[in-house]
Amino acid sequence: MRRLIFFILVNLILFTGFASAQEEFSFTLEEFEKKSLEWGGYAEIKLEHTKGNQNAAFALLDSHGDPRSSLDRFTSTLQLDGNYNKGLFSLNWVAQAYGRQDQEQWEDEASIFEVYVSIKPTPMASIDLGKKVFKWGKGYAWNPVGFIDRPKDPNNPEESLEGYIGAGLDLIKSFSGPLQTLALTTVVLPVQDNINEDFGKRDNLNLAAKLYLLYRDVDIDFLLFTGNSRTTRYGFDFSTNLATNFEIHGELAHIPKQSQKILDADGNVEIREIADTSYLLGLRYLTENDVTTIIEYYHNDDGYTEQEQDRFFELVDDANDLFMETGDDSLYSKAASGSEGAYGRSQSGRNYLYAKITQKEPFDLLYFTPGLTAILNLDDESFSLSPEAVYTGFTNWELRLRFSLLVGSSFTDYGEKQNENKLELRVRYFF
């Protein structure tokens, strides 16, 4: 019943949107006068056909030796956002719910991504209290300096993410010399029972700070995280335009003491302490015929070497053999423990290259943007390749067709992922 109501709701919004997209638009300013309550969001349907990689380590681990050859999935998502303004105060929120059906199961979840009160006494200062998303760093696909961010999906880096509960203070000062702007953002982040539990160790109060400078047309950030939920970390990032069509950016993060899961020679999960210095260098280049290229190199010091990854893949192989022969899943449990937050992360290697090429409106096709995204593990040379086409010609509609292909031999990053390829159609209506 619940899934029926959910589907009806999402499809009703989509259908209403299609009907209103046909209406004529008239420009009356009253329509755009500011209201104290404003809200919006989107409804989305997504159809996915996935071809599984049945011999891959993560497919075996997930299904204990019996992975599916393919999976068809239908997902409906509803996102609602808005704000209520009263004088110096505003209440802001973003909530998202999804329902998902595939051949195996129905899944649904509703989450509040953000809900916070802002107090803004002057343009130079603001205070935020509540659950809020912070996205720090200049990288497009990865952000090693995103100390209080949730990790984003490099295949969908522009999607909404869930925030953390805390208190933030933002101070801005503008100048007329070479230093044009100076801004300080500080965030206090508690971790307790039922508050930011998944952030790190509980019963701690953490502090994150970002000092931003616009100096001689260069954006510069100095970042700091300290507190006992995670170890202390330092960061630096920058971005600037070298020409009207050429931007460069970079990030550097240093974590003097970082705990990392590692498999020993016997396949046992141990915790070791490392000094983690991760960095990213990137560029964005626009050609005369509107081709935008984003290229980023990412060194993930917290990642695993080829040898270390091999050990994990061997463990899964052994686990599968043991399970098939005896039904004993103890090795699978070990591998699952090593996978969680470590070998199973979406990018668990050490060196990656990201490239995204999009051509805006080719052949005079307005609002049509074809593109190609590639993510390459530079150590084992496995990669993912995702051609896509996006059309935004119907007002408030976005249609995206994407195919993703994962290529790699045995015991490589992309060769051992759960899927071999995926075809995805996403239709999103904004309201």
Partner 1 sequence: MKKALIFLIVFLASSLAGICSAQAAELDGNAILRQVDKNLQPQSYEMYRKLINVEPDGTKKEFVLYSVKKGQDKMVALFLSPASEKGRSTLRLGENMWLYIPNVGKPIRITSLQSVVGGVFNNSDILRLDYGSEYDAVSITREGDTYLLQLKAKTNAIAYDSLKMWVDAKAIVPTTIECYAASGMLIKTLYYKNTKDFGDGLVRPSVLETDSPLYKGYKSVMIYAKVQRKKLADEVFSLNYLARVDELR
Nearer to partner 1, 140 or 298 (CB): 140
Q: What minimum distance in Å lies between the beta carbon of 386 and partner 1?
A: 19
Cβ–Cβ < 8 Å for 389, 378: no
Q: What minimum distance in Å lies between the beta carbon of 64 and partner 1?
A: 37
From the list 55, 54, 59, 65, the residue with the least C-alpha distance to 322 is 65
Q: What minimum distance in Å lies between the beta carbon of 224 and partner 1?
A: 17
In this structure, the strands spanning 89-102 and 106-122 are antiparallel
Q: What minimum distance in Å lies between the beta carbon of 372 and partner 1?
A: 18
Nearer to partner 1, 27 or 265 (CB): 27
Nearer to partner 1, 233 or 249 (CB): 249
DSSP structure class, residue 151: P
Cβ–Cβ < 8 Å for 260, 274: yes
Cβ–Cβ < 8 Å for 21, 399: no
Nearer to partner 1, 155 or 185 (CB): 185
DSSP structure class, residue 150: P
Q: What are 163's two structure tokens?
A: 């925030």
Nearer to partner 1, 101 or 396 (CB): 396
- Distance of alpha carbon 18 from the chain centroid: 29
Q: What minimum distance in Å lies between the beta carbon of 7 and partner 1?
A: 22
Nearer to partner 1, 50 or 185 (CB): 185
Q: What minimum distance in Å lies between the beta carbon of 279 and partner 1?
A: 19
From the list 144, 159, 151, 139, the residue with the least C-alpha distance to 356 is 139
- Tokens 């119907």 — which residue? 394
Q: What minimum distance in Å lies between the beta carbon of 431 and partner 1?
A: 5
- C-alpha radius of gyration, the chain, whole number: 24
Cβ–Cβ < 8 Å for 356, 379: no
Nearer to partner 1, 107 or 290 (CB): 290
Q: What minimum distance in Å lies between the beta carbon of 111 and partner 1?
A: 15
Cβ–Cβ < 8 Å for 300, 278: yes
Amino acid at 26: S
Q: What minimum distance in Å lies between the beta carbon of 120 and partner 1?
A: 6
Nearer to partner 1, 92 or 412 (CB): 92
Under the rule (CB under 8 A), what is the footprint of partner 1? 25, 27, 29, 32, 34, 40, 42, 81, 85, 90, 120, 122-124, 126, 133-138, 140, 157-161, 170, 172-174, 180-181, 183, 185, 212, 214, 217, 219, 239-241, 243-247, 249, 284, 286, 290, 292, 360-361, 364, 366-367, 392-393, 395-398, 430-431
The CA-based angle 383-389-391, given to 5 degrees, is 150
| 3 state DSSP class of 31 | helix
Q: Cβ atoms within 10 A of the Cβ of 355, count?
A: 17
Q: What are 59's two structure tokens?
A: 């497919």
In this structure, the strands spanning 291-299 and 269-286 are antiparallel
Tallying the residues shown for the chain, one arrives at: 431
Nearer to partner 1, 59 or 294 (CB): 294
